[in-house]
């Protein structure tokens, strides 16, 4: 039997057994530092739950070197989008950052609309803002809940997921699905908001305003919570800029960079809200910012509901919009019977046109576009390239989780191994966006 130098084998009663050597462990072994130990935190660690691996070099309980190993989700969504029509791409990008699906849909559609030169109707613009801010609250609640769970504040976890359930119930009522909505489409929305949405949104805001003080009582002023987070995961503004960090990480270091204010989109310049900023640049500051951002999002939601005017939610151009507006069936899947009757009852040319739009898609003028939105984690940018066909040549995403994750070593090295958990929780990376 020929021997492989990397995987020598030996015969047993059950067959050949191989012992694999090499890998990235050999590069970390250092004869001079035999008092150090290299450990894997993840991918099976509870705080990384199968999707992120941290390789830590420890001296005692102090982290001397840290690096992240990604790729455990390997979805290939960007490449998949290049084999789908422009509209079908929405169903893929909504699955990237699965805690902020609406933001992915809006960022992608803004880039497609930029290439098309299409102006989205006013009602669709306001509805997009409404949905994004509801989604922002849900994403921040998951950050608070999972962060609390990883640090031992289990009541914070149960409270956070309780409120997030309110968010998902509302999004299901508005779009038909709890997650991965594909509700925002190039040119507008899949359909209009359902009847009674104003009352449901107002009730949601009322419930959230009532429950938000619980987080201050439970966590913000809690001595153990503060001691666990204050001074941990420190990253000043120059470090943030050098590493490209955006979102709450950058704002916790004192820079009020929020694309909704500095480069407004979807009419955000019309809304009155503040950009919370801190200067402590630690985990506690990032926690407080997210709680404050939830309060600001509630203000924007109320304003968006007040601004909503009657009108279409899809562009009038029939080369982009489907002949009959999409209406989802009662099960949240497929087209309703009324929608099918409307298409079938129109002219044969209309039916053929609808068939071609659905199967082949519409053509987008050749060119490239980049648009960015302020997701719960920072700047979420979409770079789309078109050759004039019915599907993109290139889809590339600047996902904030991917960029922000490289701040982990800077936050963790020199600190305790237990503080790595707090640092990663404060970064709030969603691996669906990292491994896209």
Residue corresponding to tokens 């609309």? 113
pLDDT at residue 338 above 90? Answer: no
Both 145 and 35 in one domain: the answer is: no
Identify the pLDDT of residue 275.
94
Token couple for 330: 């009662």
Domain count within the chain:
2
Q: What is the average per-residue pLDDT within 6-16? A: 73
pLDDT at residue 104 above 50? Answer: yes
Rounded to an integer, what distance in angstroms lies between the CA atom of residue 275 and that of residue 260? 9
Residues 6+ positions from 291 with CB-CB distance below 8 Å: 140, 144, 212, 215, 216, 220
Q: What is the average per-residue pLDDT within 342-357? A: 74
pLDDT tens digit sequence for 126-136: 999 999 999 99
pLDDT at residue 21 above 80? Answer: no
Both 390 and 415 in one domain: the answer is: yes
Rounded to an integer, what distance in angstroms lies between the CA atom of residue 421 and that of residue 150? 7
Other beta carbons within 10 angstroms of residue 24's beta carbon come to: 10
Strand partners, 10: 17
Pick from 363, 293, 330: nearest CA to 136: 293
Kindly indicate the confidence band of residue 34, based on its pLDDT and cuts at 50, 70 and 90.
Answer: low
Domain of 424, CATH number, reads: 1.10.645.10
Average the pLDDT over each of 89-98, 316-325, 386-395 and give the range with the smallest value.
316-325
Q: What is the average per-residue pLDDT within 92-118? A: 93
Both 107 and 33 in one domain: the answer is: no
Both 176 and 28 in one domain: the answer is: no
Both 131 and 171 in one domain: the answer is: yes
Rounded to an integer, what distance in angstroms lies between the CA atom of residue 392 and that of residue 83? 8
Q: What is the average per-residue pLDDT within 321-345? A: 64
Strand partners, 378: 375
Q: What is the average per-residue pLDDT within 40-58? A: 82
Residue 332 belongs to some domain of the structure: no
Q: How far is CA 284 from CA 219, 232, 281, 289, 379, in A?
A: 10, 8, 8, 9, 21
Is pLDDT larger for residue 161 or for residue 29?
Answer: 161
Both 117 and 64 in one domain: the answer is: no
Q: How far is CA 412 from CA 16, 231, 239, 417, in A?
A: 42, 11, 13, 8
Identify the pLDDT of residue 324.
46
Identify the pLDDT of residue 14.
66
Residue 357 belongs to some domain of the structure: no
Rounded to an integer, what distance in angstroms lies between the CA atom of residue 373 and that of residue 379? 6
Other beta carbons within 10 angstroms of residue 362's beta carbon come to: 20
Other beta carbons within 10 angstroms of residue 57's beta carbon come to: 18
Both 31 and 122 in one domain: the answer is: no
**Winning range, highest mean pLDDT, from 318-332, 338-352, 405-419:** 405-419
- Give the chain's mean pLDDT: 87
Q: What is the average per-residue pLDDT within 396-415? A: 93
Q: What is the average per-residue pLDDT within 191-203? A: 92
Residue 396 belongs to some domain of the structure: yes
pLDDT tens digit sequence for 145-183: 998 888 888 888 999 999 999 999 999 999 988 999 989
Task: Label residue 276 exposed, middle or buried (CB < 10 Å: 0-12, 13-18, 19+).
Answer: buried
Rounded to an integer, what distance in angstroms lies between the CA atom of residue 91 and that of residue 321? 17
380: DSSP letter: E
Under a CB-based contact definition with an 8 Å cutoff, are residues 277 and 254 in contact? Answer: yes
The DSSP code sequence of 4-18 is BTTB-EEEETTEEEE
43: preceding bond cis by omega (within 30 degrees): yes
Rounded to an integer, what distance in angstroms lies between the CA atom of residue 188 and that of residue 321? 9
Rounded to an integer, what distance in angstroms lies between the CA atom of residue 232 and that of residue 415? 8
Is pLDDT larger for residue 46 or for residue 122?
Answer: 122
Identify the pLDDT of residue 329.
57
Identify the pLDDT of residue 112.
94
Both 210 and 311 in one domain: the answer is: yes
Is pLDDT larger for residue 5 or for residue 272?
Answer: 272
Q: What is the average per-residue pLDDT within 306-319? A: 87
Identify the pLDDT of residue 333.
59
Under a CB-based contact definition with an 8 Å cutoff, are residues 186 and 113 in contact? Answer: yes
Is pLDDT larger for residue 398 or for residue 71?
Answer: 398
Both 100 and 245 in one domain: the answer is: yes
Other beta carbons within 10 angstroms of residue 304's beta carbon come to: 24
Both 203 and 308 in one domain: the answer is: yes
Identify the pLDDT of residue 72.
86
Residues 6+ positions from 195 with CB-CB distance below 8 Å: none
Among residues 52, 69, 86, the one where a domain terminates is 69
Residue 20 belongs to some domain of the structure: yes
- pTM attached to this predicted model: 0.86
pLDDT tens digit sequence for 219-238: 888 889 899 999 999 999 99
Both 65 and 192 in one domain: the answer is: no
Token couple for 315: 């562009």
Other beta carbons within 10 angstroms of residue 201's beta carbon come to: 21
Both 106 and 138 in one domain: the answer is: yes
Q: What is the average per-residue pLDDT within 248-257? A: 93
Residue 333 belongs to some domain of the structure: no
Among residues 31, 48, 69, the one where a domain terminates is 69
Rounded to an integer, what distance in angstroms lies between the CA atom of residue 70 and that of residue 147? 20
61: left (phi over 0), alpha (psi -120 to 50) or beta: alpha
Length of the chain: 436
Q: What is the average per-residue pLDDT within 283-290? A: 94
Strands (E), 175-281: 184-185, 188-189
Residue 350 belongs to some domain of the structure: no
Identify the pLDDT of residue 144.
92
pLDDT tens digit sequence for 60-82: 889 999 989 888 888 889 999 99
Count of CA atoms in the C-beta half-sphere (13 A) of 262:
12
Task: Label residue 246 exposed, middle or buried (CB < 10 Å: 0-12, 13-18, 19+).
Answer: buried
Identify the pLDDT of residue 7.
67
Count of CA atoms in the C-beta half-sphere (13 A) of 356:
12
Show the 3-state SS of 296-317: HHHHHHHHHHHHCCCCCCECCC
Identify the pLDDT of residue 198.
92
Q: Which domain holds residue 23?
A: 9-69
Residue 329 belongs to some domain of the structure: no
Is pLDDT larger for residue 10 or for residue 251?
Answer: 251
Residue 59 belongs to some domain of the structure: yes
The DSSP code sequence of 89-129 is HHHHHTTSSTTSHHHHHHHHHHHHHHHHTPPPPHHHHHHHH
Among residues 22, 41, 69, the one where a domain terminates is 69
Strand partners, 372: 381
């Amino acid at each position: 039997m020929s021997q492989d130098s990397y995987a020598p084998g030996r015969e047993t009663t059950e067959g050949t057994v191989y012992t694999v050597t090499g890998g990235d462990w050999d590069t970390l072994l250092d004869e001079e530092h035999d008092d150090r130990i290299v450990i894997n935190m993840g991918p099976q660690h509870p705080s990384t739950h199968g999707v992120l691996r941290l390789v830590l070099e420890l001296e005692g309980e102090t982290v001397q070197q840290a690096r992240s190993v990604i790729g455990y989700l390997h979805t290939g969504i960007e490449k998949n989008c290049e084999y789908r029509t422009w509209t079908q791409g929405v169903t893929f990008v909504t699955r990237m950052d699965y805690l902020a699906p609406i933001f992915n849909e809006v960022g992608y559609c803004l880039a497609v609309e930029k290439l098309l030169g299409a102006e989205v109707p006013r009602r669709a613009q306001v509805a997009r803002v409404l949905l994004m801010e509801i989604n922002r609250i849900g994403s921040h609640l998951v950050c608070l809940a999972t962060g609390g769970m990883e640090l031992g504040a289990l009541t914070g976890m149960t409270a956070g997921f309780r409120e997030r359930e309110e968010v998902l119930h509302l999004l299901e009522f508005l779009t038909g699905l709890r997650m991965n909505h594909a509700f925002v489409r190039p040119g507008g929305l899949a359909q209009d908001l359902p009847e009674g949405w104003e009352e449901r949104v107002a009730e949601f805001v009322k419930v959230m305003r009532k429950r938000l003080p619980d987080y201050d009582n439970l966590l913000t002023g809690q001595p153990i919570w503060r001691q666990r987070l204050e001074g941990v995961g420190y990253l000043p503004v120059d470090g943030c800029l050098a590493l490209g960090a955006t979102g709450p990480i950058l704002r916790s270091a004192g820079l009020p960079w929020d694309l909704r204010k500095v480069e407004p989109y979807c009419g955000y310049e019309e809304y009155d809200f503040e950009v919370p900023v801190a200067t402590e640049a630690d985990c506690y500051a990032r926690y407080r910012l997210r709680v404050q951002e939830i309060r600001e999002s509630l203000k924007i939601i109320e304003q968006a509901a007040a601004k909503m005017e009657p009108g279409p939610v899809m562009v009038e151009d029939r080369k982009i919009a489907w002949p009959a507006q999409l209406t989802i069936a009662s099960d949240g899947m497929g087209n309703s019977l009324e929608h099918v009757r409307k298409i079938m009852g129109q002219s044969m040319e209309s039916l053929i046109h609808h068939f071609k739009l659905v199967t082949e898609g519409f053509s987008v003028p050749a060119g490239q576009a980049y648009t960015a939105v302020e997701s719960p984690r920072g700047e979420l940018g979409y770079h789309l390239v078109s050759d004039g066909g019915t599907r993109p040549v290139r889809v590339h995403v600047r996902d904030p989780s991917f960029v922000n994750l490289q701040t982990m070593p800077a936050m963790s090295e020199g600190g305790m191994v237990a503080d790595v958990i707090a640092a990663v929780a404060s970064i709030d990376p969603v691996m669906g966006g990292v491994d896209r």
